[in-house]
Structure 1
Amino acid sequence: MDSTNTPLTDAQLAESHPAVLVLVSKLDDIARREPGGVAALAQAMAEYFRTPD
């Protein structure tokens, strides 16, 4: 992932990639609920999918 890319907002994801928005929302939920490493992994995956190439 290139550090110069800006993560997309929920509105931008909903417009361009609605399925990815569902995935990111679920990952964000997991990151809030789960302890430790699982939360960190979910948070990193959500950030990855939010950030365009």
Structure 2
Amino acid sequence: MNQKIRIILWVIIGIFLVASLVYSAFIFGRQQGIEAAYEEFSQAGISLDYFQKN
């Protein structure tokens, strides 16, 4: 059950990151959008590492 919750969480986060990338690219233009999404991804990655350790 714990593994299912983790998989669902990863799917939700993945959808959010892809959506943020597309949204940023659409609003700010391709290069700036990718940079903004990469920044969000880095912050989310730190959060995920913290969540996994606990």
TM-score range, shorter chain: 0.3 to 0.5
Structure number with greater Rg is: 2
Greater percentage in helix: 2
With normalisation by structure 2, the TM-score equals 0.40
With normalisation by structure 1, the TM-score equals 0.41
